[in-house]
Amino acid sequence: MGIMSGPSRDSIRVLHVDDDPDVSELTATFLERADERFGVETAADAAEGLDRLDDCEFDCVVSDYEMPGLDGIEFLERVRAECPELPFILFTGKGSEAVASEAISAGVTDYLQKETGTDQYTVLANRIANAVEHARSRRRVEHSEQRLRKIVDSLPHLVYVVDETGTYRLVNEALAAFHGTTVEAIEGATVEEVLSDRAAAQFQQDFRSVIATGEPKRLSGIEVTDAEGDSHVFEPQIYPYDIGETDDRAVLGVTRDVTERADRERKIERLQHRTKALMHTETREETARAATEAADAVLEAPLSGVFLLDDAGERLEPTAVVDAVHESFDEVPAYPREAPDGSRAALVWEVFEAGEPVRIDDVSADDRVDEGTPSRSVIFHPMGDHGVFVVSAERTHAFSGTDEVLVEILATTLESALDRTERRAALRRQRDELERKNERLEEFTSVVSHDLRNPLTVLNGAIEAAETTGDAEQFDRSRDAVDRMDAMIENLLALSRQGEAIAEPEPVALARAASQAWGTVETDAERLDVETDLTVRADPERLTRLLENLFRNAVEHGSADRSEDEASAQPALVVRVGDCDGGFYVTDDGPGIPEDVRGDVFDSRFSTRASNTGFGLAIVERIAEAHGWRVDATEGDGGGARFEVTGVEPAE
């Protein structure tokens, strides 16, 4: 009866070892006749059999027990040492229970006693076929397991199989590495032995739910700490799993590490909140400060700053930096355009002018930026024609590709916010200028309607009187009225022009301007003392006009209004120009300005004398405002009048 069934039709190579050549030949004949897959080769003793087995290419060994040299058990032990998985059948005519027991202990696959008749070869053929098929099945399973092991070990996710007792039946290398151990140490261990008490309790609840319902379960946002103490965010998926070897139920778990994604989502959410705040800032400084705070909060970059181009276009100035920068530098450096090649400043200007960002992951490895700074990672990002956004951290490789994209979004939003604040500032300036022009128009209207009415009335009266009486003195009164109207018109025009904004201020030496202004004032014994070497940024002509009007006011009021005792004690009025906090002052040693009218002296309609127009000090205030300065009337050290001009920008 042949063996024709079975899942495999592959050939089966059999090595038959027996010291009786007739038995070997007869056995080979019947085996090959019983199963066409068999190919039988023979050896006369164990030594020859071992030589034939050097390559382990046989599928099964059939051996006698009693042979010269090594007996069948000793031969089996040698075979097991070389080919531990090779099926080995002890086929002997002198067997016993003792021999069978010893053979089993040595790892024999099967044991069969020789008998008379040919049926024994059919039995032997079946035993060989079954043993080989079992071995091949086992190898296929092992190969499948090895392939499965390679697959799961190649996955970046944490993969495991846990049975209903809570024992790990399979884990991959990623899971073992996460726990800081080996696959062998976890497989066979229980959940309680591997996880923390809290994590084990939660996991048991989850996997038992999957086993009970037969439904997969997906979790999210699970935070777990690895063997290094680093926190991870996991997204586990647990599926029902049939082990197959037993009736035990189990689960297959695949856990994705979504820490980077969760971190990215948190950063994007924070960035959205911060960029909204950027759209509501009012000034460049407030906008820059909001951006640096966003870089620190969103990207963990505590050494960040916004550097904006100065008005001269020659320096990138630190407009806003994170507080930690002040702790690292006594003075936050600016970046001049004419910086040496290879310096940090030169690199920043290169980024600004090229309009392309630069990312450096290790500052210490780049001589251009390693200039005694605590920064170890940095991204320089241009902001159009505004400047450069410097995003910096204290650790190397602090920024990922995602962070680089977030910096680009933040820098682009910052650029838009700066554009918006500049437009608003320009609109405010236009509105303020329009308001000033309206005020000047109202003032002009008031003067025309009120102040010019008096000389016009005088002129009309004088003309009528001259026509009636022919008195020549009436013509003198007419000319005086016309002269007064000319002076008013000239002052009105000056008042209008001097209030216009300064387009291009330039360095002006205050002492030189004072000397020029004094030369235009009609004086007698009055004296000018200049006690300043200040150089300011101003319109030279209008600064001279401001000083001229202050000097003229001092001479006209300081000298003429002094009492006889004051004049006899010090016959010459002294006008002094000097420095004060934030600007300069003009003072005299005359009688001064009464405190109750100091707030009115800059009104064009105010004058302490009927013959004066009051335009002089109004023009002073307009010139100061056009420069962005402030002028205040106060009392000098000796009781005279003192005018302080502040908010003045000194020239470098």
Domain harbouring 314, CATH code:
3.30.450.40
Contacts of 530 (CB under 8 A, 6+ apart): 510, 511, 514, 515, 576, 577, 578
Where residue 5 falls among pLDDT bands split at 50, 70, 90? very low
What is the structure's pLDDT at 601?
A: 84
Q: Where among 105, 125, 147 does a domain terminate?
A: 147
- For the sheet containing 358-360, what is the strand order? 335-336, 315-321, 305-309, 387-393, 377-382, 358-360
Decide if 210 is inside a domain.
yes
Instruction: Note whether 575 and 586 are within 8 A (CB).
Output: yes
What is the structure's pLDDT at 456?
A: 66
According to DSSP, the residues that pair with 89 across neighbouring strands are 62, 110
Where residue 268 falls among pLDDT bands split at 50, 70, 90? confident
The reply to whether 119 and 160 lie within a common domain is no
The reply to whether 312 and 195 lie within a common domain is no
CATH of the domain at 236: 3.30.450.20
Which CA distances in Å does 37 have to 32, 132, 559? 7, 11, 138
284-299 and 259-278 helices, crossing angle to 10°: 170
Q: Where among 406, 424, 442 does a domain terminate?
A: 424
Which CA distances in Å does 156 have to 199, 258, 318, 533? 21, 11, 44, 74
pLDDT digits (tens, 9 = 90+) for 130-179: 999 999 988 888 888 788 888 888 888 999 999 999 999 999 999 999 99
The reply to whether 124 and 67 lie within a common domain is yes
The reply to whether 271 and 411 lie within a common domain is yes
Number of compact structural domains in the chain: 4
DSSP at 362: -
The reply to whether 92 and 238 lie within a common domain is no
- Pairwise pLDDT comparison (245 vs 415), residue with the higher score: 415
Decide if 487 is inside a domain.
no
Backbone angles phi, psi at 617, to 5 degrees: -75, -30
Decide if 483 is inside a domain.
no
Decide if 448 is inside a domain.
no
Once rounded to an integer, what is the mean pLDDT over residues 321-341?
84
What is the structure's pLDDT at 486?
A: 66
Decide if 173 is inside a domain.
yes
Instruction: Note whether 573 and 526 are within 8 A (CB).
Output: yes
Contacts of 47 (CB under 8 A, 6+ apart): 69, 70
Instruction: Note whether 360 and 342 are within 8 A (CB).
Output: no
The reply to whether 219 and 305 lie within a common domain is no
Decide if 138 is inside a domain.
yes
% the chain with pLDDT above 70: 85
The reply to whether 95 and 115 lie within a common domain is yes
pLDDT digits (tens, 9 = 90+) for 464-496: 777 777 676 767 767 666 665 665 566 555 555
Decide if 452 is inside a domain.
no
Residue 59 belongs to domain spanning: 12-147
The reply to whether 139 and 167 lie within a common domain is no
Amino acid present at 564: E
Amino acid present at 129: A
The reply to whether 402 and 308 lie within a common domain is yes
Where residue 367 falls among pLDDT bands split at 50, 70, 90? confident
Q: Where among 147, 167, 195 does a domain terminate?
A: 147
CATH of the domain at 119: 3.40.50.2300
Decide if 562 is inside a domain.
yes
Maximum C-alpha span of the chain: 179
Say if residue 503's pLDDT is above 90: no
Say if residue 536's pLDDT is above 90: yes
Triad 135, 139, 144: Cα angle to 5°: 150
The three-state secondary structure class of 360 is strand
According to DSSP, the residues that pair with 306 across neighbouring strands are 320, 389
Lookup: tokens for 398: 């602090």
Lookup: tokens for 190: 């229980």
pTM for the model: 0.51
pLDDT digits (tens, 9 = 90+) for 390-403: 999 989 999 988 88
Please report, to the nearest 10 degrees, the dihedral formed by the alpha carbons of residues 333, 339, 342, 345 taken in order: 30
The reply to whether 44 and 120 lie within a common domain is yes
Specify the pairing of strand 358-360 against strand 377-382. Answer: antiparallel
What is the structure's pLDDT at 544?
A: 92
What is the structure's pLDDT at 8?
A: 46
**d(C-alpha 536, C-alpha 502), whole Å:** 13
Q: Which of 2, 42, 44 is nearest to 20 (CA)?
A: 44
**d(C-alpha 651, C-alpha 534), whole Å:** 8
**d(C-alpha 34, C-alpha 119), whole Å:** 10
Give the 3-state DSSP-derived string for 61-102, with helices as H, strands as E and coil as C.
EEECCCCCCCCHHHHHHHHHHHCCCCCEEEEECCCCHHHHHH
The three-state secondary structure class of 579 is strand
Q: Which residue do the tokens 């236009």 mark?
A: 430
Lookup: tokens for 105: 């202990």
The reply to whether 70 and 45 lie within a common domain is yes
pLDDT digits (tens, 9 = 90+) for 217-236: 998 888 888 888 888 889 89
The reply to whether 162 and 251 lie within a common domain is yes
Triad 393, 399, 403: Cα angle to 5°: 115
**d(C-alpha 357, C-alpha 351), whole Å:** 6
What is the structure's pLDDT at 458?
A: 62
**d(C-alpha 535, C-alpha 553), whole Å:** 24
Lookup: tokens for 291: 């951006």
**d(C-alpha 83, C-alpha 537), whole Å:** 99
Instruction: Note whether 53 and 15 are within 8 A (CB).
Output: yes
**d(C-alpha 446, C-alpha 439), whole Å:** 10
Distinct helix (H) and strand (E) counts, the chain = 20, 24
